[in-house]
Structure 1
């Protein structure tokens, strides 16, 4: 029987990651990093010069996990495993973050139209000064998108809090001809890899 006291801290604002953790029955509390402090965000998501997409997403994820771990210590919170994740979309070696406005969202979707791009989600877990990390890569093929379809999608709220300007779990599912990889990873938390990491940190799943 699962220990009812097993719980993790989730260092993410993403509602999709919360849903995915609930799907595999992982209990969690939110330990949210700050976007604004006098010194700036707790973790900057700026891309470093000449930084490759996989190096970027791996680095940012571990920085989030370490920052949340320090926050747990400073607040004298009960010691629990900390999970952080970050997702990025890349095509032609270019990193596509979250669009700031409709114009950026339209440009991203035009770039993805009719082509295969990669979605990279890195997951890191820290517990008792140990850390584990995996990065999952999925290939996603979009159908050809008309300007009318792109504009209609960008009139919704979906594109603006998601890397690459779309969410597989929403209306943009009709854009996707095929995927090779992890559906949950494209959503923002690859459950196979996440379960592996949490089990290494002592969290029992099933």
Structure 2
């Protein structure tokens, strides 16, 4: 599989079925294969009670990378996870439209943090984990505006992402200020990931 860009013997293995993360890697020129990690995220979170959100994101990313690396010890594996925290509260993907409206209402007028962690496994072992953070300030929104957004975005979109929004789509209308790298917001901090792969001789330039 060695190419001008990727120096690994086989394609990069992403421990996720997220189309957004896969799309980011493919957009950066990688040939990517995916594997579902099969990790119970809520169980990991419960076991990590008391950790700050950044550390929780790292533990989740490590759990995913480790689970896939254990089954594919000959592969370079990337695990990733993201934790949304706002004023001490953690948010998860909304279960339904009502939950999405509630999450957006809770975030409206406030600044929240997206902690995106990446864990790299080589030869079956975790070799490095890091986290990057972006801060997003949501506009003040009333119930009518929130309902209009949810209706326009649709159930599939608002249930697919923590916080009930996708910044790369209609979710951009919800925000007044964003501080952080775009790929971090999407859940896979590309620049620091590329730097680490390059340092390990896995990239050709």
Per the shorter chain, which TM-score range? 0.7 to 0.9
> Cα gap change, 1:83/1:143 in structure 2, threshold over 3 Å: closer, same or farther?
same
Structure 2 distance, partners of 1:150, 1:66, is 39
Shift of 1:201: 4.0
For normalisation by structure 2, the TM-score amounts to 0.87
Q: How does 1:101-116 map to 2 (within 5 A)?
A: 101-116=96-111
Structure 2 distance, partners of 1:84, 1:90, is 20
Contact 1:195–1:205 (CA under 8 A) maintained in structure 2: no
Q: How does 1:1-206 map to 2 (within 5 A)?
A: 1-2=4-5, 5=9, 7-34=11-38, 42-46=39-43, 47-48=45-46, 49-73=49-73, 79-128=74-123, 129-155=125-151, 156=154, 157-204=156-203, 206=205
Q: Which runs of 5+ in 2 are unaligned?
A: none
> Cα gap change, 1:43/1:65 in structure 2, threshold over 3 Å: closer, same or farther?
farther
| CA distances 1:33-77 after superposition (whole Å, capped 9, x unpaired) | 23xxxxxxx34334223332112111111011000011214xxxx
Shift of 1:88: 1.6
Higher mean C-alpha displacement, 193-202 vs 100-109: 193-202
Structure 1 distance, partners of 2:164, 2:91, is 8
> Cα gap change, 1:159/1:205 in structure 2, threshold over 3 Å: closer, same or farther?
farther
> Aligned-residue CA RMSD in angstroms?
1.8
Is the partner of 1:45 in helix, strand or coil?
A: helix
Shift of 1:196: 2.1
> Cα gap change, 1:132/1:140 in structure 2, threshold over 3 Å: closer, same or farther?
same
Structure 2 distance, partners of 1:98, 1:130, is 27
Higher mean C-alpha displacement, 97-106 vs 144-153: 144-153
Structure 2 distance, partners of 1:150, 1:205, is 46
Aligned residues: 194
